[in-house]
Amino acid sequence: MARMKFLCDADRCIDCNACVTACKNENEVPWGINRRRVVTINDGKPGERSVSMACMHCTDPPCASVCPVNCIFPTEDGVVLHNKDQCIGCGYCFYACPFGAPQYPQVGNFGSRGKMDKCTYCAGGGGPEAPGSAAEFAKYGSNRFGDGKLPLCAEMCSTKSLLAGDGDIIAQIYGERVRKRGYGSGAWGWTTAYHDDVEV
């Protein structure tokens, strides 16, 4: 069975932020919410690497685990979706998320964060809305997945650094790359997200 994952090849990532605006464009994500972001470590120093990060759609997703209302759940494809109708905006998913993925429309004083928003793998929402409907789009964004398309962030990545798709396939692509070029800084977040690393 397909298990959808993301993999950012940091040796290819150039911090161009295409993934960020592709996500905003495809899902009409409002200002202030960053479902995807690029973080640069060792900025300006040797060993500088940029990594594009969003919801990794974890195995045993900790966000789903800590959610007090069980509104987050993984699908059979491993995509972690959530139901905004049930979300109470407690913020626990953010504390549990190893990748800083959950976003909230407001700062959240007095618990007024609003409904949590995060990367949906461009697979619509986990609510009752009809897949691909305008109602679903307004709440969660695009449902490319239902059309057989991958998340736009990965599809538009400038250097093919960000990979999306079946975990085995993208791990193999990454592994081949590392073997070919002779170096690799690792599959960022994989051990944390999937209890699994890409063996090269």
Partner 1 sequence: MLIRKSDRRRGSAKPVLAEANRPGGGLDRRTFLKRSGIAAGALAALGELALNGVRKAEAGPPAAPGAPVATRKNICTHCSVGCSVIAKVSNGVWIGQEPDYDSPINRGSHCCKGAAVRDDVLSERRLRYPVKLVNGQWMRISWETAINEIGDKLMEIRQNAGPDSVYWLGSAKFTNEAAYLNRKLAAFWGTNNSDHQARICHSTTVTGVANTWGYGAMTNSYNDIRNARTILLMGGNPAEAHPVSLQHILEGKELNRANMIVVDPRMTRTAAHATEYVRVRPGTHIATIYGMLWHIFENGWEDKEFLSQRVYGVDEIRKAAAKWNPKEVERVTGLPEAQVKHIAELFAKQKPATLIWAMGQTQFTTGTANVRASCLLLLATGNVGMPGAGANIFRGHTNVQGATDLGLDVTTLPLYYGLAEGAWRHWCRVWEVDYEWMKSRFPSKTLMETPGIPSTRWFDATLLPKDQISQPNPVQAMFVMGHGVNTITRMPEAVRGIEKLELLVVCDPYPTAWSVLSERKNGTYLLPACTSFEMEGSRTASNRSLQWGEKIVEPVFESKNDYDLMYMLARKLGFAEAMFKNIKVEYGAVSAEDILREINRGGWSTGYCGQSPERLKAHMRNQAKFDLVTLRAPKDDPEVGGDYYGLPWPCWGTPEFRHPGTPLLYNNNLSVKDGGGSFRARFGVERVVKRKVMENGQEVEREEHDNLLAEGSYSVGSDIKDGYPEFTLGVLKKLGWDKELTPQEMEIIRRVNSADPDKVSWSLDLSGGIQRVAIEHGCSPYGNGKARMIAWNLPDPIPVYREPIYTPRPDLVADYPTLPDAKQFRVPNIGFSVQKSAVDRGISKQFPLILSSGRLVEYEGGGEETRSNKWLAELKQYMYVEINPADAAQRGIKDGGWVWVTGAENSSRTRVKAMVTERVGKGVAWMPFHFAGFFEGDDLRAKYPRGADPIVLGESVNTLTTYGYDPATGMQEPKATLCQIRAA
Partner 2 sequence: MVMTFLARFRLATFVLALLAIAAAAPVFAQKVNPDGAPNPTASVTSQRELLQQVPRITGRIDIPDTKASVLIQPAGRTWDYFHQVLLRRGGAIVILGTVLLLAIGYLILGRLRISAGRSGQKVVRFKAFERFAHWLTAASFIILGLTGLNITFGKAALLPIVGPDTFAAISQVAKYVHNFTSFAFVAGLVLITVIFFKDNLLEKVDIDWLKQGGGFIKNRHAPAGRFNFGEKIVFWLSISAGIAVSASGFLLLFPFYGTDILGMQLAQMVHAVVAILFVALILAHIYIGTVGMEGAFEAMGTGEVDLNWAKEHHDQWIAKKLAGENGRGEPTATPAE
Q: Could you say which residues in the range 84-113 bind partner 2, by CB under 8 A?
A: 85-92, 94-100, 107-111, 113
Is the CB of 160 or the CB of 195 nearer to partner 2?
A: 195
Tokens of 187: 């599959």
Does residue 47 interact with partner 2 by CB under 8 A? yes
**Smallest gap, in angstroms, from Cβ of residue 88 to partner 2?**
4
Does residue 110 interact with partner 1 by CB under 8 A? no
Q: Tell me which of partner 2, partner 1, none is bound by residue 95, counting a contact when its beta carbon lies within the kind-specific cut-off of 5 to 8 angstroms.
A: partner 2
Does residue 175 interact with partner 2 by CB under 8 A? no
Does residue 192 interact with partner 2 by CB under 8 A? yes
**Smallest gap, in angstroms, from Cβ of residue 132 to partner 2?**
23
Query: Is the Cβ–Cβ distance between 89 and 102 less than 8 Å?
Result: no
Cβ-defined contacts of 113-118 (< 8 Å, 24+): 113/89, 114/89, 115/84, 115/87, 115/89, 116/82, 116/84, 116/87, 116/89, 117/29, 117/33, 117/35, 117/84, 118/35, 118/54, 118/55, 118/82, 118/93
**Smallest gap, in angstroms, from Cβ of residue 112 to partner 1?**
22
- Distance, first Cα to last Cα, the chain: 23
Per-residue x/- marks for partner 2, 138-167, CB under 8 A? ------------------------------
Distances (CA, A) of 197 to 75, 165, 189, 193: 22, 16, 9, 9
Angle at 31 between CA 29 and CA 36, to 5 degrees: 55
Residues that bind partner 2 (CB under 8 A): 10-11, 32, 34, 37-43, 45-51, 53, 60, 62, 65-71, 85-92, 94-100, 107-111, 113, 183-189, 191-192, 195, 197
